[in-house]
A and B are shown apart, each in its own frame.
Chain A
Amino acid sequence: MGADAVTPGSVVRVAVLIGAVVVLQGTLGLELRIAGAHPEVGWVLPICAGLVAGPEAGAVVGFVTGLATDLLVPTPFGLSALVACLLGFAAGRLATTLSDPGPAVVPLAAAAGSAVAAMLYAVLGAVLGQDQMLRVDLGAVVGVVGVTNAVVALPANRALRWALGRAAPRRRRSAAPGGRW
C-alpha cells in the first residue's frame, strides 16, 4: 500500500473488507447465476485499490484477495492470487497514467479489468494443465463478471477508501501520481 496509507487500522480494515467480499462471493455470489455463470466480485477489490492508492497497494490487495479466494475454489492454488496481483498493479498503473479521469472510470475499469482477469485466469489455468478452463462458455463468464463488477465497483471503491483511510475527493480532479480518486 502507499506509504502514506499504511496504518495498523487501515490494514485491519482492508483485511476485514477482503474477508467480507470473499465470504459474500462464497455464499451469495454462488446463488446468483446468469447464463450459466456467476459473478466474481473478488476482482473488483484490487482494481479499486490500484485506482485509489496506486500499483503497489493494488498488487498487495490483489494478492491477499486472490489467496483468500483460492482457498474456496478447486482450481490451482495461487492462480487467483497471481491474476489479482497483476490486475491490481495494472489498475494502479492506469491511475498514474490517466491525466483526466472522469467519474465513469471506476466502473469502466472494473468491467474491463474483471473481464481481462477472467480471461487471463482461464488461459493460465489451461497452461497449468486445467484445459477444461478454456472449454467453458468464456463469453458468458466474461460478460457476467464484467457487468456485475461494474455495478458493484462504486460501492466497493467507497468501501476501500474507508478501509484505506482515504477521504473521497469533493470534486473530480487530475490524478496525482499514485492515483487519488
Chain B
Amino acid sequence: MVLVLVSLTIVTVDQTSQTHHLTAGAKSVADDVLSPLRSAVDDVLHPVGDLFAGAVHYGALQTENQKLQAEIGQLRQRQDEQPFDEEQLRELLALQNLPFVGDVPTVGAQTTAVDVSNFDADVTIDKGRDDGVAYGMPVVGAGGLVGQVVEADHRSSIVQLIVDGQSKIGVTLGVPAAASPTAVAQGQGQRSPLLAVFVAGSAGLRKGRLVYTDGLEGAAFPGGIPVGRVASWRTVAGGTQLNVSVTPAANLGQLRYLEVLQWEPTP
C-alpha cells in the first residue's frame, strides 16, 4: 500500500511539473548511460536483422523496387511531356530533397531506437544537447516532417513522431497562402494517418494534395514543411466543416537518418 501511494505521488507530482526537471535529469543520465550500449547492440544486430529481413521479404522488396522504377519512369515521362505547374514542381522537390529547410541550420542524426515504449510513436536519435539539439526542435527527413524533439539529453534525444497521439501540428491544406484552409493535424497512432480536424470548407481540396506546416506566429514548426498528403475527408459539424485524413509525406518506416532543424518557436 505504501509503495502504491509513493508511485501515485511520483506520477502526480511529475505531472504537475514541480519536480519534472528532477525526473528529466534522472532520465537524461539514464539515457546517457544506455545510449552507447544501445548503439553497440544496434550496430551488431542491424546487419543481421537486415539479412533476415532481406531473405524473408526478398519477393516484396523486388516488387517494391519494380514499382518504384515504374514510378520514376512515369515521372520522367510526365516531366518530358508537359511542364509542371509551380505547385507540382514544389511538391516533387519537397519529396526528393529538403528544400523547405532553407537557411535553417541542421544537425544530422542517426536513429538508434524506434518506439522505446509500445505506447508511443517515437524514435531515439544519437544527437543531443551537446550537439545543439534542444527541446521542441522540428525533425525532418525521408520526404517531410518527421516529428519534434520532446526530450533532449546530453548525447541523445527522443523525437515524437507526427503520428503519435499527442502530436498536434498547425497545417495548411495546400501551399501556404491566404486562400489555403488551415487546420490542426493530430496524430492518431502509428498505423493511422493524421487527422486534420475542423477544416472550414472543401475549396481547393483534392486527394493527394500536399499539406504543409502553417508557420503561423507562435507555431511549433516553421512554415512550409511538407507534413503529408490529403487521403480522404468527411463532413462533420452539421455539414460546415471537414475532417481530413492526411497520409504522412515522410516515410516513417525508413527513419535511419534524420535532420534536426535548429529552429525554435518564437514565444
The segment out of A7-15, A130-138, A160-168, A172-180 that lies at the interface is A130-138
| A-contact bits for B118-129, CB 8 A (1 contact / 0 none) | 111110000000
* B118 and A128 contact, CB distance less than 8 A: no
Q: Which of B1-33 contact A (CB under 8 A)?
A: 3-4, 6-11, 14-15, 23, 26-27, 30-31
A158 interfacial by beta-carbon distance below 8 Å? no
A47 interfacial by beta-carbon distance below 8 Å? no
Distance of A66 Cα from B11 Cα, bound (Å) = 12
* B7 and A66 contact, CB distance less than 8 A: yes
* B10 and A81 contact, CB distance less than 8 A: yes
* A26 and B189 contact, CB distance less than 8 A: no
* A76 and B118 contact, CB distance less than 8 A: no
Residues in A with CB closer than 8 Å to B117 are 73-75
* A30 and B115 contact, CB distance less than 8 A: yes
How close is B78's CB to chain A, nearest CB, in angstroms? 35
Distance of A125 Cα from B164 Cα, bound (Å) = 14
**Of the candidates A31, A128, A131, which one forms a contact with B45 in the assembled complex, judged by CB atoms under 8 Å apart?**
A31
How close is B239's CB to chain A, nearest CB, in angstroms? 27
* B15 and A133 contact, CB distance less than 8 A: no
How close is A9's CB to chain B, nearest CB, in angstroms? 23
**Of the candidates B6, B119, B150, B190, which one forms a contact with A130 in the assembled complex, judged by CB atoms under 8 Å apart?**
B119
Residues in A with CB closer than 8 Å to B4 are 59, 82, 85-86
* Interface size bracket, B side: 35 or more
* B42 and A31 contact, CB distance less than 8 A: yes
Q: Decide: A71 near B14, CB < 8 A? Known: A82-B4, A135-B189.
A: no
How close is B152's CB to chain A, nearest CB, in angstroms? 12
For A145, give the chain B residue with the smallest CB separation: B118
**Of the candidates A38, A85, A118, A121, which one forms a contact with B7 in the assembled complex, judged by CB atoms under 8 Å apart?**
A85
Residues in B with CB closer than 8 Å to A71 are 26-27, 30-31
Distance of A137 Cα from B189 Cα, bound (Å) = 9
A48 interfacial by beta-carbon distance below 8 Å? no
* A59 and B45 contact, CB distance less than 8 A: no
* B10 and A131 contact, CB distance less than 8 A: no
| B-contact bits for A111-148, CB 8 A (1 contact / 0 none) | 00000001001100100111111011100010001000
Residues in B with CB closer than 8 Å to A68 are 30
Q: Which of B148-207 contact A (CB under 8 A)?
A: 150-151, 158, 160, 164-166, 187-192
Distance of A121 Cα from B7 Cα, bound (Å) = 13
* A136 and B118 contact, CB distance less than 8 A: yes
A181 interfacial by beta-carbon distance below 8 Å? no
B113 interfacial by beta-carbon distance below 8 Å? yes
Distance of A60 Cα from B4 Cα, bound (Å) = 10
Q: Decide: A121 near B190, CB < 8 A? Known: A59-B3, A77-B23, A81-B7.
A: no
Q: Decide: A135 near B188, CB < 8 A? Known: A27-B34, A76-B15, A81-B10.
A: yes
| B-contact bits for A25-47, CB 8 A (1 contact / 0 none) | 01110110100111010000000
* A125 and B7 contact, CB distance less than 8 A: no
A79 interfacial by beta-carbon distance below 8 Å? yes
Q: Decide: A31 near B41, CB < 8 A? Known: A63-B7, A76-B11.
A: yes
Show the binding face of A for B, using Cβ within 8 Å: 23, 26-28, 30-31, 33, 36-38, 40, 59-60, 62-63, 66-68, 71-79, 81-82, 85-86, 118, 121-122, 125, 128-133, 135-137, 141, 145
Pick 22 A–B contacts, CB within 8 A, sort by A: A23-B37, A26-B116, A27-B40, A28-B45, A30-B114, A31-B45, A31-B49, A38-B115, A40-B118, A59-B3, A68-B30, A74-B151, A75-B117, A76-B14, A77-B23, A77-B27, A78-B14, A82-B7, A130-B165, A135-B165, A135-B192, A136-B118
Show the binding face of B for A, using Cβ within 8 Å: 3-4, 6-11, 14-15, 23, 26-27, 30-31, 34, 37-38, 40-42, 45, 49, 113-122, 150-151, 158, 160, 164-166, 187-192
Q: Which 3 A-B pairs have the closest CB atoms?
A: A132-B165, A78-B10, A82-B7
